[in-house]
Structure 1
Amino acid sequence: MAPKRPPNTRAAQAVPRGRRTPRRFVTALLTACAMASAGLIALASPAPAAAELVVNGGFESGLSGWTCSGGTGSPVTGPVHSGTGALKATPVGGDNARCSQTVAVQPDSEYTETAWVQGSYIYLGATGTGTTDVSTWTSSAAGWQKLTTTFRTGARTTSVTIHLNGWYGQPAYLADDVSLVGPGGSTTIPAVPTGLAVTGTTARGVSLGWTAVPGATAYDVYRADTKVATVTGSTAEIPGLTPETTYTFSVAASNSAGTSARSAPVTATTGPDGPTGQDPTGLPKRVMTGYWHNFVNGSTNLRLRDVPTSYNLVAVAFAEADRTRWGAVTFGVDPGLSTALGGYTDADLKADIATMHARGQKVILSVGGELGAVWVGDNASAAMFASTTTALLREFGFDGVDIDLENGVSPTYMATALRAIRAQIGTSLIITMAPQTLDMQSNQAAYFQLALGIKDILTIVHMQYYNSGTMFGCDQKLYAQGGVDFLTAQACIQLQGGLRPDQVALGVPATGRAAGSGYVPPGVVNNALDCLALGNNCGSYRPTTTWPGIRGAMTWSVNWDATAGYGLANSISAHLRTMP
């Protein structure tokens, strides 16, 4: 049967024959038309049209546009409900395999969300609606089953997050053809990023950059089909990779309207492990490090430029806590040192750093010290530490940062702060630590956990092999400080606990006056390095293996070494140059 035709509007409103339309009606009609043309009469706007708002709801572009918790989701080519792709997500432990997408919506509007699913205990829902968040589920879908739910947005809601998830301890679930239909938001999905390129590689990390996309507020970086980073700028550092391995990366742009498809992929090959590859920090394979005093304490007072080239790396001690802001650090030439050196200024220090760079030396800013109380224990203080430290590095020209907080560290938040600094400075950033011996006795200790947590960007750990007394070695035997056995048995704990050999250096006092206890002559340090690297010149303790990549030595301090004519640095640095 043919559908009924709508009434003939023109005929229904026609003027009966024989009657004329009054002139006042014509005049009023013409006036109204003119006013409407001039914008003086508000005409009702049509309601926003309903549209499909989900990006890549059929998973034809892998997981582009989607975020799955803990890497639990993956694209599959079968079984599918339609097309050639679907989602497979597997709950693991305490993770219910939640896959979500944020989309732009209109306030005070109706939406319908659907998905085709297969498996046991599968949920479909939406959060951030501004009214009542919704969810629907099925306990068992042996074949493809459609889930549907509806919601209305609040008066100020401009985006919602739709999600699918399974249930704890249940098998993997499948999903396809996810849909959200309703009025679209005012923001449009950003364009696909272009210009993705590899800007740097290390043994365990890759740096990426791309062209910024107008309207994008964040970017998702993928390694193959796994999202490995979300950043707000157009660069990213990807850590935790395997040396001498080729990886494929792509990037997608996002905002409140959703996420674009992924860019054209690029490949990157990581370098060889350890300092045998090209070290982006510019440090040599073997490193002699010394601390320079930004204070007066009875040792020799030195301008920074007076530090001899027997030191490859100099740590300026110390940046201190800014007591007005949690996590903030501050630094400048100490007034007492300035007076002792005849008016040494911040400008002089900056010029000296440039001079040292010209000689091939690196200079870093050490934070903390024995009395340092910089607190980095939450996200806000981590962000403050990162921003203030980065500003100081750039202002003075420092090559990196040294963490020397003898009052404890938070592995989680300090790692967050150091990664933020690395993201700003780049792969050339030097990151060192100077934990006390006690801090590195177990890889469960906070300092050790911090070192392992940033292993991919960590340069060197200069553990203090002094002021510690008798300690257990890696063979669970007690060793008194002050000999080859103490140095080798303590270094072994770090090496067996997960640090690479190029990340381990021996920290020793420059003279007997430089520390309360633990001083050893330079020859003992050289013997310990030979024992660790080559198995030669060991004491009663002989490691079960050797670590040829052992990095070098550190001393507290350059100033104390200067009082003894640089006997320690001259001896150890000369020995480091003879090591293979």
Structure 2
Amino acid sequence: MHRRSPAPALAGSVRRPHSTARRTWAGALSAVLAASALTLTGLATDAAAADINNAKNPGFESGLANWTCSSGTGSSVATPARSGAAALKATPAGHDNARCSQTVAVKPNSRYTLSAWVQGGLAYLGATGTGTTDVSTWTPDSSGWKQLTTSFTTGANTTSVNVYTHGWYGAAAYFVDDVSVFGPDGGGGGEETVIPVPPTDVAVGGATKSSLDVSWKPVANATGYNVYRDGLKVQSVSGASAVVTGLAADTEYTFQVTATNAAGESGKSTPPVKGRTAKDGPVTGLPKHFVTGYWQNFNNQATVQTLAQVSDNYDIIAVAFADATSTPGAVTFNLNSAQLGGYTDAQFRADIRAKQAAGKKVIISVGGELGTVRVNDAASATAFANSVHALMQSYGFDGVDIDLENGLNATYMTQALRSLSAKVGSSLIIAMAPQTIDMQSTSGEYFKTALNIKDILTVVNTQYYNSGAMLGCDGKVYSQGTVDFLTALTCIQVENGLDPSQVAIGLPSSTRAAGGGYVSPSVVNNALDCLTKLTNCGSFKPARAYPALRGAMTWSINWDATAGNAWSNTVGPHVRSLP
């Protein structure tokens, strides 16, 4: 646990619980979803060529014509519009969930596919009066257009159904565009669906060693897209972008995209667009083995230092910490000049450049024991990626360290880091500093995140302190503060999916730096020898050596300086001597 001030030893890892209000809201929502008997299916595959979109004014180009919204909660707006010049905006208020609906003519005993594109707050899409089973589907809030799709079959006497959208009480406004009730012509004067035109403005970017991002301009009447790599279809998506994975490093690929709907598939986009994956190997400028240290942007009785005063034994300097903003997921950085002896922002920026000129990397750390950054939905993931990228551009940081000790959502943190990687490219350093318990199982959110981004991940520096006793990879219990604890727990990561080059061991730099788990620098070196060469082990010895193990991390550079740099002067040279 990375602390801003000394604290007593902990018996185990403690996480701050979510608020009661959040639990109550989630419980109520779960109950509603269960009662709705939601079904989410793919597009209908048995639609005939003569099928049409039976919805009227499906893109809200004629305002709210043919639509009725509760309590005046809906309006036709020009921005954002997925296609055409308009979309629906509906704003829940108080006890009104902003329900907008239309009665659609249908044929009895017929199958229909209901779809719509939504954005903004939580949004539902459904149909009632089907004569069989009414259906609905939903999505949590989304920062970009997302397609909702479900299907239903009409009853023997059903000639019309009620199609609706709505939001959630007290949630943000939601937007809807391109509603479709696709199936046999019900006689209500719907719109016949035609095969879409090929996508345009196809672009390739966001190169990593094994993936490329492909994007294109949305096609008005498309319900999906197919991505072709070197002439072969490799992916089908609903939105106007895709991440193509499983690629070889430093290899050029050619991409084309087609648009689809129930009427068929368009031709391929032209001309074909090329992209090249990043070169294999470590991030440029990082040694095979390195030492990471946290630099404190605050004074907690440890030695106050400028970046210029940081020992050369540190290869990566993690600036602790970024600050949360009022926008969920977004972060900023505020140099604490008052606690750092008048250290100015201009000096700080100049010191970053000087360290980089000396071959060091400086990254911004997000979290810590008191960190309140939450990335738990699509909007906050986007805000996180955008704000970290802005800090990198402003200060020149080489990357980001994820040190969220009060909860992490693997789905949305993965989304955030992939988005950041697409903006920065292969030079991005991504470090993680999970607590010991977070890396005990691949089912943990931290471990899942690390595996999700394995192709762009630099290093996981697990905090092997403030944790008490834990299980090793051999199923035995080991106590913190021993060489066995370090080696047996590190084994879990490298035997469950992470490459040894992405794993490092994290320790306190002095007895004052953590509540428990300190070991002398010589024990750190013994653990590194055991893991990389199977020498100097304790009672536990790994089944195989991991010579590519990345190195070591410490909390903190300032506490190390307080102890005369004893930790870095011992561990630093040893790390560089590893095979």
TM norm structure 2:
0.64
- What is the alpha-carbon distance in structure 2 between the residues aligned to residue 283 and residue 345 of structure 1? 28
**Residue in structure 2 matched with residue 205 of structure 1 by the alignment:** 211
Between the aligned residues of both structures, percent identity stands at 45
- Secondary structure in structure 2 of the residue aligned to 1:225: strand
1:49 match = none
- 1:111-260 superposed matches below 5 A: 123=111, 125-128=113-116, 159-161=178-180, 192-193=199-200, 200-202=207-209, 204-206=210-212, 221-223=227-229, 224-227=232-235, 238-239=244-245, 241=247, 249-252=255-258
Paired residues of 1:199 and 1:209 also in contact (CA < 8 A): no
> Contact 1:201 / 1:268 at 8 angstroms: preserved in 2?
no
Q: Distance in 2 between matches of 1:157 and 1:506?
A: 49
Q: Which has the larger radius of gyration?
A: 1
Distance (Å, rounded) in 2 between the aligned partners of 1:486 and 1:522: 15
Amino acid at match of 1:225: K
Question: Alpha-carbon deviation of 1:395?
Answer: 1.8
In structure 2, the residue matched to 1:333 is 335
Distance (whole Å) between structure 2 residues aligned to residue 231 and residue 131 of structure 1 = 20
Provide the rounded CA distance (Å) in 2 between the counterparts of 1:307 and 1:421: 28
Unaligned runs of 5+ residues in structure 1 are 1-93, 115-120, 139-148, 165-180
Distance 1:159 1:200, change over 3 A: closer
Q: Indicate whether 1:300 and 2:303 are aligned.
A: yes
Structure 2: distance between partners of 1:331 and 1:392: 7
Q: 2: distance between equivalents of 1:153 and 1:409?
A: 37
Amino acid corresponding to residue 435 of structure 1 in structure 2: P
Structure 2 matches for 1:473-488, cutoff 5 A? 473-488=472-487
Residue 517 of structure 1 is matched in structure 2 by 516
Question: Is the Cα contact below 8 Å between 1:128 and 1:161 reproduced in 2?
Answer: yes
| Cα distance in 1 between the residues matched to 2:330 and 2:251 | 38
> Which structure is higher in RCO with an 8 Å CA cutoff and minimum separation 6?
2
In the alignment, what sits opposite 1:421? 420
- Indicate whether 1:501 and 2:500 are aligned: yes
Does the C-alpha gap of structure 1 residues 536 and 229 become closer, same or farther in structure 2, counting only changes over 3 Å? Answer: farther
User: What residue in structure 2 maps to residue 467 of structure 1?
Assistant: 466
Shift of 1:158: 7.3
- Secondary structure of 1:497's partner? coil
Distance 1:264 1:497 in 2: 42
Matches within 5 A, 1:404-415: 404-415=403-414
2:507–2:519: 8 Å Cα contact kept in structure 1? yes
1:13 corresponding residue in structure 2: none
**What corresponds to 2:392 in structure 1?**
393
Letter in 2 for 1:330: T
Q: Secondary structure, in 3 states, of the residue corresponding to 2:495?
A: helix
Q: Deviations over 1:396-437 (max 9, x none)?
A: 221111111211212222222222222322232211111111
Q: CA RMSD in A?
A: 4.6
Structure 1 SS opposite 2:507: strand
Deviations 1:188-244 (A, max 9, x none): 977654675677441x3235588x7999999875443133667768xx754455668
Q: Distance in 1 between matches of 2:476 and 2:294?
A: 31
Q: Distance in 2 between matches of 1:570 and 1:237?
A: 43
Say yes or no: does 1:570 pair with 2:563: no
> How much does 1:508 deviate?
0.8
C-alpha distance in 2, partners of 1:419/1:209? 14
Aligned residue in 2 for 1:261: 268
> Distance between the aligned counterparts of 2:574 and 2:390, measured in 1?
37
Matched, 1:317 2:320: yes
* Partner of residue 186, structure 2: none
Mapped contact 2:508–2:518 kept (Cα < 8 A): yes
Aligned to 1:285: 288
Question: For residues 507-547 of structure 1, what are the alpha-carbon distances to aligned partners after superposition, in whole Å with 9 as ceiling and x for unaligned?
Answer: 01112221122222222222222222222222211111222
Give the letter for the 2:329 counterpart.
G
Note closer, same or farther for the CA distance 1:469–1:283 as it changes in structure 2 (3 Å cut).
same
1:352 is paired with a residue of what secondary structure?
A: helix
Contact 1:248-1:268 within 8 A present in 2 as well? yes
Correspondence 1:344-363 to 2 at 5 A: 344-363=343-362
How many angstroms does 1:316 deviate by? 0.3
Instruction: Give the distance between the partners of 2:346 and 2:266, measured in 1 at CA.
Output: 47
Q: Distance in 1 between matches of 2:409 and 2:352?
A: 30
Instruction: Provide Cα deviations, 1:308-338, integer angstroms capped at 9, x if missing partner.
Output: 332111100011222x333232321114324
SS in 1 for 2:354: helix
C-alpha separation between the residues in 1 aligned to 2:177 and 2:380?
Answer: 31
User: How far did 1:450 drift?
Assistant: 2.1
- Structure 2 CA distance for aligned equivalents of residues 429 and 230 of structure 1: 28
Residue 131 of structure 1, CA deviation: 12
Query: Is 2:294–2:556's contact at 8 Å kept on the other side of the alignment?
Result: yes
Contact 1:220 1:231 in 2 (8 A): no
1:6-25 deviation digits (Å, cap 9, x = unpaired): xxxxxxxxxxxxxxxxxxxx
Task: Give the direction of change, closer, same or farther, for the CA distance of 1:388–1:484 in structure 2 (3 Å limit).
Answer: same
* Deviation for aligned residue 1:300: 1.4
| C-alpha separation in 2, matches of 1:535 and 1:216 | 62
Amino acid at match of 1:555: T
Q: Which secondary structure does the structure 2 equivalent of 1:315 belong to?
A: strand
| Count of residue pairs brought into register by the alignment | 442
Kept in 2: contact 1:221–1:230 (CA 8 A) = no
For residues 232 and 198 of structure 1, do their structure 2 counterparts lie closer, same or farther at Cα, with a shift above 3 Å needed?
Answer: closer
CA distance in 1, matches of 2:208, 2:378: 28
Question: Per-residue CA shift, 1:216-274, capped at 9, x if unaligned?
Answer: 999875443133667768xx75445566888653345899x9977334556767678xx
- Give the aligned partner of residue 437 of structure 1: 436
Q: 1:576 to 1:207 in 2, by over 3 A?
A: farther
Aligned-pair CA distance for 1:386: 2.7
